[in-house]
Amino acid sequence: MAQIYSRIMATGSALPERVLTNADLEKFVDTSDEWIHSRTGIRQRHVVVEGETTGDLATLAAQRALDAAGVKAADLDLIILGTTTPDIIFPSTACLVQHRLGANGCAAFDVNAACSGFVYALGIADKFIRSGQSKKVLVIGAETLTRMVDWTERETCVLFGDGAGAVVLEASDEPGIYATCLHADGGHKELLYNPVGVSVGFKDEPNHGVRIRMSGREVFKVAVKTLDSLVEETLNAAGMDASQLDWLIPHQANLRIIEATAKRLNMPMEQVIVTVDKHANTSSGSVPLALDFAVRSGKVKRGQNLLLEAFGGGFTWASALLRY
């Protein structure tokens, strides 16, 4: 029997309209555009307004991907949505989006792998397609991380933004996704986390204690080291070497981390998709937003090889090597 691959038919994305620049942040927190840009590469981020949700952004990104693919929502077999910031505790945001798209009846679930959520979701979707279980799958990464930001804490509030991206995958005889690698190490929980919730309980603090806690410097070091070995592992799994890659589409947390990974792969920055300057860190939204930006701007073309990677709380880390 011929091998089945999952192939990206089309991409879509959505950002909140409201933009918060580094200069805007300077007005209410002790920071500067110079500090933020030199340490992270960020110039601005998109931020949701009151009432705007992860599901809103996810639905818009998904509809744009479906339109670009020429696929009707009713033809989907599966929806997987990576998020750490679901609209409500349940039903899952994937179910909320499914209903709004009119795809009722197909399987739909969320994946919480922090910033690696979209790449995890892509890896799972690929297995459903390869096994013959699903033919058309919608994969989304969507977040409203600024809902968990303490706007008085300069160490974290300057880093995050909101947004969503989506891809429509189809079963194909041609590659397709060559390899995906998914990993986690829960031993690093305390370096990047949000320690409140339904079962543990909420705190008697502003926003019920819902707030990102991060040891930035430590996360930075582990991220660089882990991504180094992840890209090696992914190339091996796909049976390729770095010279066969056309584009690196990395998680957009920090330009210095991105540059370190590119250097490891011997790829010039001209072959790296960078959106961190405009979007900041949108967690699960970051990789599919960067991918959609790269496709719609004409940078990424059919037949090119893309390496997607992400690293986030957990720690989790994940990658996908695919032919677009």
DSSP string spanning 89-155?
Answer: SSS-HHHHHHHHHT-TTSEEEEE--GGGHHHHHHHHHHHHHHTTS-SEEEEEEEEEGGGG--TT-HH
How near is the Cβ of 224 to ligand UT7 at its closest, in Å?
9
Q: Which of 129, 311, 289 is nearest to 226 (CA)?
A: 311
Using rule CB under 6 A, residue 145 touches ligand UT7: no
**By CB under 6 A, residue 220 contacts ligand UT7:** yes
146 near ligand UT7, rule: CB under 6 A: no
Token pair 């719609």 in the structure block, residue: 296
Q: How far is the CB of 31 from ligand UT7 (least distance, A)?
A: 3
Alpha-helical runs (H) found in the chain = 22-26, 33-40, 54-69, 93-101, 117-130, 154-157, 216-238, 255-264, 276-279, 286-296
In the block, tokens 């340490």 appear at: 39
Is residue 194 close enough to count as binding ligand UT7 by CB under 6 A?
no
Chosen residue from 4, 24, 39, 259 binding ligand UT7 by CB under 6 A: 39
Residues 149-178 that bind ligand UT7 (CB under 6 A): 154-155, 158
**Taking contact as CB under 6 A, which single stretch among the options 86-94, 219-227, 242-250, 301-309 is the one that binds ligand UT7?**
219-227
Smallest separation, CB 219 to ligand UT7 (Å): 4
Of 172 and 194, the one with the shorter C-beta distance to ligand UT7 is 194
Smallest separation, CB 240 to ligand UT7 (Å): 26
Shortest distance (Å) from residue 99 CB to ligand UT7: 30
Q: Closest CB to ligand UT7 among 6 and 84?
A: 84
User: Shortest Cβ distance from residue 4 to ligand UT7 (Å)?
Assistant: 33
Residue 319: left if φ>0, alpha if ψ -120 to 50, beta else—which one? beta
The answer to whether 134 contacts ligand UT7 (rule: CB under 6 A) is no
CA distances from 37 to 186, 276, 309 (A): 31, 10, 22
CA dihedral sign, ordered 251, 256, 257, 262:
positive
* Interaction between residue 219 and ligand UT7 (CB under 6 A): yes
Quote the crossing angle between the two packed helices 216-238 and 255-264, to the nearest 10°.
Answer: 30
Q: Is residue 281 involved in binding ligand UT7 (CB under 6 A)?
A: yes
Give the count of alpha carbons within 13 A of 160, CB side only.
28
Q: Which residues are catalytic?
A: 115, 251, 281
Site string for ligand UT7, 67-106 (x = CB under 6 A): ----------------------------------------
- The secondary structure of residue 303, as a DSSP letter, is T
Q: Which residues of 149-172 are buried (b: 16+ CB within 10 A; e: fewer)?
A: bbeeebebbbbbbbbbbbbbbbbb
Among 76, 115, 124, 248, binds ligand UT7 (CB under 6 A): 115
Q: Which of residues 230-259 bind ligand UT7 (CB under 6 A)?
A: 253-254, 257
Applying CB under 6 A, the residues found at the interface with ligand UT7 are 31, 35-36, 39-40, 115, 154-155, 158, 216-217, 219-220, 223, 253-254, 257, 281, 311-312
